[in-house]
Structure 1
Amino acid sequence: MGQICSKCGALMPDDAVFCGNCGTVCQRDSFRGNVCRRCGKPLEGEVL
């Protein structure tokens, strides 16, 4: 069904996670690991 953005309340895909460093919403990326595509920091959020 998706998850709700903690910042704006928008519906996001189930595999979307936040970067705690810059706030970017990223899709889960199993090839690069759970890091932000913008700044490279580990992502916050539940990644299944």
Structure 2
Amino acid sequence: MSDAIAPTIPAQLQKKTPAQNRGLITRKKKLRTISDRLPPIKN
């Protein structure tokens, strides 16, 4: 799973410690979960 996320992480973030990266990934997951709960946006 982390392999799928890794390419999307900007180069600047890869310089941070794994703990910081984990925090950022967790935050992204939370945002994704919230957006999944919302009804889909129609274009």
Give the shorter-chain TM-score range.
under 0.3
Which structure carries more relative contact order (alpha carbon 8 Å, separation 6+)? 1
Structure with the greater alpha carbon radius of gyration? 2
Q: Which has the higher strand share?
A: 1
TM-score by length of structure 2 reads 0.22
